[in-house]
Copies of this chain bind each other. A is one copy, B any other.
């Protein structure tokens, strides 16, 4: 492990943590953060040592409290700082003296409100001591594996009715890393991912990023075995050259999907008053992302949709996509969006059409099914028809990806079509994405079953098409850079490992 990676790793997996500003008061951020560590330690998830630091307390949640970092006798690798901004430089000096390696400054009140000087003071202390800083003005780190959880937003909230409800859930372990400039968007993302049953490897909110920035984080995540895809939310990227160098390296091995906001003039103004970010010309970001293989998404929903696709499926070798459906209208919608996004939905080869015609002769699919791409199996569809048709299309060398639209409303379709198609897909390295429309029981079940079996599923045909477009785009980038095969092999290897583990 490179020394820099080893140091960065201390943010996520420290042997010892001091929480400066730990508190007994339930409403304080320092309480919630310290309690997260305590809870996770008791659960056996967090295995490091834990030291609360607070001048005014003796014991917090059963842990002996220290009046300063200096007072802790044992080694401290990571310091989490949750105290008023003006007291932070002093704490950093103590941390330097103590030999702390990394610090997360949760506290706000620095450059984002005009206190540049205070921030510079903190930076200068850290630089001298070789301490790396995350923040200030950030939510810090959540690591689903090590139990490091600095989110000061409690998992549950109590409504005025007295009901306790899940409010800021922590997602389960999974292949998606979230790197975000906006803390508020970050927790929203966790809420989204947890609710959709999508697993997260690591979550980092770097706020003012006075030291560690997105580039270093991407570099670190390149070597993180848990992370298969990186979701990056950014309002500005200051060091463009560094970003390009790192991103180019990362995207050969791991896809990055980026939601870059501050696109419009008014949006850029809003971003500036939010994180002090100078958003810069949007066209430049577009072109830089393209050059270095970062997949830029147009909005929040595409962000997560694309992340899921890249986490679950290999990239496509080309842009020819097949649509298999039991519902004509949604089929047209999928074709429209695919073509709009630069994919091609062309008629099948004679050989493939012939195979469908034979199924018709054998009465295995309806005689009135269409087979020119889309394949429309109509409302008479059965699980077997979906399986047989998908196999034919998987076997067509001219087709590089499949959109499977399985509307469950048709009377004779049983839910085992999902398992059949998923099993089939294991024999191929072509990507497949699914759509099931609806928001009641059966539709939710269908989508969750698809997801569980590794086929990313979406609630609209267009969402599925956009996800496939990302798989095509990423495949094109990898091919251009001669690393398509290497990536796919590594992807399939880790995917199979993952599948084995989760069974």
Contacts and interface: CB of A to CB of B under 8 A. Distances in A.
Given A166-B441, A273-B372, A299-B337, A184 B416 contact: no
Interface stretch (A128-136, A246-254, A324-332): A324-332
Nearest to A114: B368
A366 to B, nearest CB: 10
A398 interface: no
Contacts of A333: 185, 259, 261, 267, 299-300
A438 interface: yes
A323 B273 CA distance: 13
A180 interface: yes
A181 B326 CA distance: 15
Interface size class of A (residues with CB under 8 A): 35 or more
Interface string A131-162: 00000000000000000000011100101100
Interface in A398-456: 407-412, 414-416, 437-445
B301 A266 contact: no
B191 A439 contact: yes
Given A166-B442, A188-B327, A438-B195, A270 B461 contact: no
A263 B195 contact: no
B409 A332 contact: no
A476 interface: no
Contacts of A261: 329, 332-333, 336
A331 B440 contact: no
Given A194-B440, A411-B27, A443-B195, A340 B264 contact: yes
B409 A300 contact: no
A159 B415 contact: yes
A275 interface: yes
Given A327-B185, A336-B262, A437 B159 contact: no
Given A184-B327, A235-B332, A274-B328, A339 B300 contact: no
Closest 4 CB pairs of A and B: A195-B439, A182-B329, A184-B327, A191-B438
Given A188-B409, A194-B440, 12 more contacts: A108-B368, A160-B415, A169-B440, A182-B332, A189-B437, A193-B439, A267-B332, A267-B333, A270-B335, A273-B374, A299-B462, A300-B330
8 contacts: A27-B412, A113-B368, A261-B333, A266-B336, A275-B328, A300-B333, A300-B462, A301-B459
